[in-house]
Amino acid sequence: MAENCIQNNIRKLRFLHDEMTQQELARQVGVTRQTIVAIENAKYSPSLEVAFRIALVFGVPLEDVFSYGPVDDV
């Protein structure tokens, strides 16, 4: 059975938003840069509030930032 996890498109969204830095995203969301790094690398699952804040920064629906499903083969 395949393992499920939360996946995200934060790195891609940062690139599409004028190559926003992790520090700038963290500032706008109200978290540390280390938190953004951990979320991007799927080492940390954000709270629902932080997830919504990230989506709001990018102006996209939550499901455009995060998804839950089988782990992608890398």
**Quick one: which of 56, 71, 70, 55 has its CA closest to 9?**
55
**Model pLDDT for residues 46-56, shown as the tens digit of each residue:** 999 999 999 99
Q: Is 50 helix (H, G, I), strand (E, B) or coil?
A: helix
pTM: 0.88
Reported confidence tier of residue 5, pLDDT bands at 50, 70, 90? confident
The sign of the CA dihedral 68, 40, 22, 29 is positive
Measured N-to-C along each axis, helices 48-58 and 33-40 cross at an angle, to the nearest 10 degrees, of 90
The mean predicted confidence, pLDDT, of the chain is: 93
Residue 28 in contact with residue 57, Cβ under 8 Å? yes
